[in-house]
């Protein structure tokens, strides 16, 4: 059994992981700082210019704050599993007309699977990250659930909706109890004013310029095939650059002259067509999802009222979830939702409790 007083903290060189490491050391834990080397761009100068969690400057920041806090620091190579579980998945999903959330895949397979295994090799029972969320063990069942962060503006529970019971029992997230990001910055600034003043990362770490089309073109450009834009009746409207460049609800960058705003409403991988309709065509009140993960219970056996969130920035909406076959759920919203997007996660809440999530089909 690994040491329950030892914790590996995922260090990005940023505000939140720095504060997390200090808080756990102050709480009496034996803390080890680890930066996960996840990817390496072909152009190191580009990475340094654009930033990103794997840049040399970020690693040096993490090393410096660990030294000031007084904890050991390691850089560990996770590039192979990151490429397989996150980058290859990201590319494959776009090729199949879906819009993936790579951060959710990274959390499940890398940060809270591969890192937990590495922590056990270091005789550490726990891993910790700077996520804004709270983990709680229910007293009546012993199962683990996730609750909203006290800092609602920074809450990150949505990207944690696929974490399993085996993973949750080995995770610590001390920042969930803070009601303001400013207090967390103050902690980080004690050790390094530069780190304490860093801005929050908004982009996917392996696409630091946030240009998905550029990334996909560079990696699979020879596999991208142009096709037809069509209206909901199948009438041709023009030509598109390849389905990987589009997502449900997209309006900008279509290059169509319709005399009215046009929105992507469907991506057909079998015909290589992108369907474009009006604003009203982007709304729907029903979705189906699979890859179910529930936290307070094993499986959903009857209809249940929840608040459902269909993307990171979307507000939760009232809905009823019902079993729809093995590992499938039907979600019916009280009011139609805009741009329900295959490949994205849908997260389910009851009150301030994240009860689980699934992948939109």
- Residues with catalytic function: 106, 205
Does 12 count as an annotated binding residue?
A: yes
Tell whether residue 34 is among the known ligand binding residues.
no
CA distance 313 to 203: 13
Intra-chain end-to-end CA distance of the chain, in Å: 40
For 222, the token pair is: 């020879």
Is 33 assigned a ligand-binding role in the annotation?
no
Q: With CA atoms as reference, report the closest residue to 221 among 200, 241, 246, 197.
A: 241
Sign, Cα dihedral of 29, 153, 104, 301: positive
97 annotated as a binding-site residue = no
Is residue 41 within 8 Å of 47, Cβ to Cβ?
A: yes
Is 70 labelled as part of a ligand binding site?
Answer: no
Does 322 count as an annotated binding residue?
no
Report whether 11 belongs to an annotated binding site.
yes
Q: Give Cβ neighbours of residue 67 (< 8 Å, ≥ 6 apart).
A: 73
User: Hey, is 165 helix, strand or coil?
Assistant: helix
238 is in an annotated binding site: no
Q: Does 176 belong to an annotated binding site?
A: no
Q: Say whether 65 sits in a helix, a strand or coil.
A: helix
Tell whether residue 173 is among the known ligand binding residues. no
Contact 132, 179 (CB under 8 A): no
Q: Which residues fall in the annotated binding site for ATP?
A: 10-17, 36, 130
Q: Which residues fall in the annotated binding site?
A: 10-17, 36, 130
């Amino acid at each position: 059994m690994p040491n329950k007083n030892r914790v590996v903290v995922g260090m990005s060189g940023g505000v939140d992981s720095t504060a997390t490491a200090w808080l756990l050391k102050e709480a009496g834990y034996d803390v080890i700082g680890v930066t996960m080397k996840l990817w390496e761009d072909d152009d190191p100068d580009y990475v340094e210019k654009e930033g990103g969690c794997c840049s040399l400057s970020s690693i040096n920041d993490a090393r410096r704050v660990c030294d000031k806090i007084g904890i050991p620091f390691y850089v560990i190579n996770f590039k192979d599993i990151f490429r397989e579980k996150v980058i290859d998945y990201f590319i494959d999903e776009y090729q199949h007309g879906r819009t993936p959330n790579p951060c959710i895949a990274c959390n499940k397979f890398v940060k809270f699977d591969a890192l937990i295994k590495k922590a056990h090799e270091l005789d550490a029972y726990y891993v910790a990250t700077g996520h804004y969320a709270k983990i709680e063990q229910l007293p009546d069942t012993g199962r683990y659930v996730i609750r909203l962060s006290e800092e609602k503006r920074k809450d990150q529970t949505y990207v944690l909706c696929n974490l399993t019971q085996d993973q949750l029992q080995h995770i610590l997230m001390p920042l969930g109890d803070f009601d303001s990001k400013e207090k967390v910055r103050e902690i980080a600034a004690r050790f390094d004013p530069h780190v304490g003043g860093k801005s929050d990362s908004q982009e996917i770490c392996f696409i630091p310029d946030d240009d998905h089309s550029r990334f996909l073109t560079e990696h699979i450009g020879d596999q991208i095939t142009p096709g037809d834009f069509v209206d909901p009746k199948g009438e041709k409207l023009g030509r598109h650059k390849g389905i990987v460049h589009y997502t449900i609800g997209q309006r900008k960058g279509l290059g169509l002259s319709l005399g009215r705003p046009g929105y992507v409403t469907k991506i057909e991988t079998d015909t290589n067509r992108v369907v474009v309709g009006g604003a009203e065509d982007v709304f729907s009140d029903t979705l189906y999802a699979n890859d179910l993960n529930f936290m307070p219970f094993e499986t959903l056996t009857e209809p249940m009222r929840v608040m459902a969130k269909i993307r990171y920035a979307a507000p939760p909406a009232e809905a009823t979830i019902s079993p729809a076959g093995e590992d499938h759920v039907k979600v019916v919203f009280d009011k139609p939702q805009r741009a329900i997007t295959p490949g994205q996660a849908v997260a389910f809440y009851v009150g301030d409790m994240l009860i689980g999530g699934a992948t939109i089909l």
